[in-house]
Chain A
Amino acid sequence: MEVKEKQLPEYSSKDFSSDQDVRWCPGCGDYTILKQVQNLMPDIGVAKEDIVFVAGIGCSSRFPYYMDTYGIHSIHGRAPAVATGLKIARPELSVWVITGDGDSLSIGGNHLIHALRRNVDLNILLFNNEIYGLTKGQYSPTSPEGMVTKSTPFGSLDHPFNPAALAIGADAGFFARAMDRDPKHMRSIMERAHKHKGTSLVEIYQNCIVFNDGAFESYTDKKLRDDTSIYLEQGEPLIFGKESQFGIRLDGHKPEVVSLSGGFSKDDLWIHDETDHFKAYILSRFFDNNSIEGGFPRPFGVFYDVQKPTYEDQLHSQMNMAVEIRGEGDLDALLAGSETWVVK
């Protein structure tokens, strides 16, 4: 579909703020994400009437009401499907999906994986707080095993989903991780998601101050975070630690944490390559419980970013091809079909 170049007005982040009062709990991580999205929107080069935010149900899914763009607050888990239909109907729009861990990985898990495999050009922001907030504190599909919640007084028996592995497993073209406590990095990741044509899944660690406060403390606490997290940069070696003293090395296909003071140099390390599907899969397995020492650090940044043909582009080129081959549909010919007879 041909897109005309629009003359865009000078937007500020305020232009993207609706007149509705924001009603998340004070201190909720959602505020930071909203602010960064509103802050990013003027810079993506899209007219505000061409932007649509689609959400499901949950705390995060109230998000569209606060954006002064087009928006749909749909039903639980279905945002990727609603957005898929919209994007297929209107490929020129910039379509963003706002979802939570319950919304997209529990009730809507099916739609998420199918959107990823189809590669519809959607930007999916998954607010992961490892808890059900809007229903007031039940465990979610990303809650760790053993977690005591309102519905698991003896501890959760569910093994949590690993969203990165799920996305890579579904052949997503783009997966990245960010966190609410690092807004600048998050903004840059969201910008990358926008630039990626195809389904982009951004998992955002988001603190639920009421029902699961501190769930990601090991990655946000100043004393801990350097040893538990690693920031991925394209073409750079995988290095982490307060004094950048650790690195990740690949021994064949097996990753290992090595000390840079213990005989290994930067040249021995794994160089991050966002276009390497195998490495992305290994990275997605860095999912250790970081309250236990000695595991792999949790990666943040872009795991994988490879452009593939999008579903909607392929569908529209099929439609164009059909017109080329068969000509513009002739309704009268269609109604008559191949065999008719005349009654006099």
Chain B
Amino acid sequence: MDTKIFEKDDVTIRFAGDSGDGMQLTGSQFTNTTALAGNDLSTLPDFPAEIRAPAGTVAGVSGFQIHFGSKQIYTPGDACDVLVVMNAAALKANLKTLKAGGIIIANVDGFGKRDLSLAKYGPEDDPLKDIQTSGYTLIQLDVTKLTRASLKESGLPPKDVDRCKNMFVLGIIYWLFSRDMDSTVSFIEKKFAKKPEIAAANIKALKDGYTYGNATQLFSERYAVQPAKIEPGTYRNITGNEATVLGVAAATKKSGLNTFFGSYPITPASDILHGLSKLKHYGIKTFQAEDEISAITSAIGASFGGNLALTSSSGAGIALKTEAISLAVILELPLVIINVQRAGPSTGMPTKTEQSDLLQAMYGRAGEAPLVVLAPQSPSDCFDMIYEACRITVEHMIPVFFLSDGYIANGAEPWRFPTTESLRSITKTFAKPREATEEPFLPYLRDDKLVRPWAIPGTPGLEHRVGGLEKQDKTGNISYDPDNHHHMTMVREGKKNVVAENIPLQQIDEGEESGKLLVVGWGSTFGSIKAAVRELASEGHSVSNTHLRYLNPFPKNFGSMLERFDKILVPEINNGQLIKVLRDQFPNINFDGYNRVRGVPFTVSELKDAISQKLND
């Protein structure tokens, strides 16, 4: 019997299980297949900080959410339509994310007495029974038993058989959403190329899951989501950290420079180090330093030597780099500092997202130490903005902060990737050698953009010394002269402001160019804000949004844009940081904040509520 297929505009699925259950892999495989099917999509992994928290406990639950549709998708979805839970703890941790009336697919083998107790359900509780009476659709399967039956002839030990459970579930989901399995099959073949028996078992479990979905009477309906109408072109799927890696490779190529990347492992930034360390044949050197300070100071040394130099970390590690960042400011050498922000203060919540290092990036240094601050707004935008960071740092000889965060770093979306040729050029030349008969070289003599020459060792006639002590303008010699220090302080500030001449103008993303309310965001909140504003604008409200990717300096037209709106709302996943900068720079404009610091992205619905409230004020 064929189950009837229903068309859906968009669907959100959440896979949840124990961290050992392979939910991230399941989610990312479903993502790739969905992307290849032509849907627009957005994903959000949600994993525990511990590598292996005690199995079966709520602390050990790992989740992966994907929102996909035949329409444009800007967020991983506020709540899910389908929740897959591999055990009781996964249900406990994720039931709140399920929409009213949603579908739960539960592995009943994960709901035994011990599982319930580990998940801290009471001895009398029967959570599966409870959800049946709460209006949800419950599909119960014994995935362990089904997988073991599927693989009983594989000859694999039970431990390996049980590790194929996630593929059995994925097969069912592929059937439920009428998906093709080819991409996952070839992924498995590649991943287990050296263990063909494991590959065969995983593929069999996947296919048997699909067949099981078809054969069983468990589902009364299945679904199809048509391809989305998105801009024509060739696409791939990409996470923010992957896009950051590719952006560095692209900047290396386009600048013609060699690249040095100094880093110290830290969640959620480490994947950038992993990714770049594979790109040695692209002229990229990676150096895993002994600490955060060495990571950045080695990069400064490489920059002095003429390399495109970058360092990466997250907020707590950035704090350790602070003194070196101010050294780079006074040396006026190129340096990109990547901060993949996470929830703070201190160690905070390493795997959870937050936007709370903006003020650290803007002001968190000794002395007056201005630099450029950029922030990507989505996973794929990490490519564009890290590329911009590299371009600006070498063209202006000024350190540039790149503020990503855990949400876009690990979240994924389809990306219409560029060609090498289409990328903006990066213009930089090193200072030329000088004869002894020429005037002495002046390392701090500036061009009309206030940029000093990049004079690298190995160049005859340019021997010079730089350092953290205040410099005399032009010569770069040590100077304690009061007027010179004032002058140099102003020059460094002015030099940062000149960058505004070399960046794009600020655009309205959704809504009219003027009106009642402008929503101003920055960083990873782009998708939620855009979706909320788009829905409200389509409902007839006078609301627009603009998203800042260049935070210091602001684009030149940003101030005049602000003046064309009656009210301005600034939603941030922090306690109000951009708003402080805005109030400082535009003291005559009134700004209101919407701030939630929960370690999770904004939902579209909470933003709609906040914006509606502001519109009605």
Contact = CB atoms under 8 A, between A and B. Distances in A.
Contacts of A67: 465
A256 interface: no
A85 B235 CA distance: 37
A212 interface: no
Interface stretch (B137-145, B169-177, B280-288, B591-599): B280-288
B306 interface: yes
Nearest to B440: A19
Given A70-B463, A85-B260, A85-B298, A340 B287 contact: no
B236 A85 contact: no
19 contacts: A20-B477, A65-B465, A70-B457, A70-B462, A71-B465, A72-B331, A73-B469, A75-B297, A78-B294, A81-B289, A84-B287, A85-B299, A87-B301, A90-B306, A322-B281, A336-B417, A339-B32, A340-B235, A343-B233
B504 interface: no
A329 B301 contact: no
B420 A332 contact: yes
A49 B465 contact: no
Interface in A73-113: 73-75, 78, 81-90, 92-93, 110-111
A133 B456 CA distance: 32
Contacts of A234: none
B127 interface: no
A332 B291 CA distance: 34
Nearest to B295: A81
B305 A89 contact: yes
Contacts of A326: 281
Given A70-B457, A85-B297, A89-B260, A335 B302 contact: no
Contacts of B38: 341, 343
Interface of B: 32, 35-36, 38, 183, 227, 230-238, 246, 249-250, 253, 258, 260, 262, 279-283, 285, 287, 289-291, 293-294, 297-307, 309, 323-324, 327, 331, 416-420, 456-469, 477-478
A134 interface: no
Contact of B304 (A72, A318, A331): A72
A318 B277 CA distance: 11
A72 B467 contact: yes
B285 A88 contact: yes
Contacts of A73: 465-469
A47 B283 CA distance: 26
Contact of A93 (B260, B280, B457, B466): B457
Contacts of B282: 329, 331, 334
Nearest to A91: B305
Interface string A12-40: 00000010100000000000000000000
Contacts of A50: 457-458
Contacts of B420: 331-332, 335
Contacts of A328: 281
Contacts of A85: 260, 262, 287, 297-303, 305, 309
B280 A89 contact: no
A337 interface: yes
B501 to A, nearest CB: 28
> By DSSP majority rule, is chain B's interface helix, strand, loop, or mixed?
mixed
Contacts of A52: 304, 457
A34 to B, nearest CB: 14
A78 B36 contact: no
B253 A331 contact: yes
Q: Which 7 A-B pairs have the closest CB atoms?
A: A73-B467, A85-B298, A85-B301, A329-B282, A86-B301, A89-B302, A71-B465
A114 to B, nearest CB: 4
A262 to B, nearest CB: 49
B240 to A, nearest CB: 15
A89 B289 CA distance: 14
Contacts of B253: 329, 331
Given A71-B466, A339-B237, A88 B280 contact: no
Given A72-B301, A111-B294, 18 more contacts: A73-B469, A84-B301, A85-B301, A88-B298, A90-B306, A93-B305, A114-B289, A319-B283, A323-B281, A331-B249, A331-B250, A331-B282, A339-B35, A339-B36, A339-B237, A340-B235, A340-B417, A342-B233
Contacts of B327: 74-75
B294 A93 contact: no
Nearest to B323: A75
Contacts of B477: 20
A68 interface: yes
A81 B465 contact: no
A89 B235 contact: no
Nearest to A61: B467
A69 interface: yes
B304 to A, nearest CB: 6
B480 to A, nearest CB: 12
Given A50-B457, A93-B305, A343-B38, A318 B280 contact: yes
B112 to A, nearest CB: 39
A110 B468 CA distance: 21
B254 to A, nearest CB: 8
B246 A335 contact: yes
Interface in A41-55: 47-52, 54
Nearest to A86: B301
Contacts of A144: none
A89 B285 contact: yes
B235 to A, nearest CB: 6
A235 interface: no
B173 to A, nearest CB: 19
A335 B300 CA distance: 28
Contact of A83 (B238, B301, B469): B301
A344 interface: yes
Contacts of A157: none
B250 A110 contact: no
A64 B253 CA distance: 34
A93 B463 CA distance: 13
B297 A90 contact: no
Nearest to A55: B467
A170 to B, nearest CB: 11
A81 B463 contact: no
A80 to B, nearest CB: 8
A111 B289 CA distance: 9
B457 A81 contact: no
B299 A68 contact: no
Nearest to B311: A85
Contacts of A337: 236, 238, 417
| From B36, B236, B309, residue with most partner A Cβ within 10 Å | B236
A50 B234 CA distance: 47
Contacts of A64: 465, 467
B126 to A, nearest CB: 43
A306 interface: no
A334 B302 contact: no
A67 B466 CA distance: 12
B468 A75 contact: yes
Interface in A304-344: 315, 318-319, 322-323, 325-329, 331-332, 334-337, 339-344
Contact of A49 (B279, B280, B462): B462
Contacts of B235: 340-343
B281 A327 contact: yes
Contact of B466 (A72, A78, A89, A339): A72
A105 to B, nearest CB: 15
Given A70-B464, A72-B467, A335 B458 contact: no
Contacts of B283: 319, 329
Contact of B234 (A65, A74, A86, A336): A336
Contacts of A70: 304, 457, 462-465
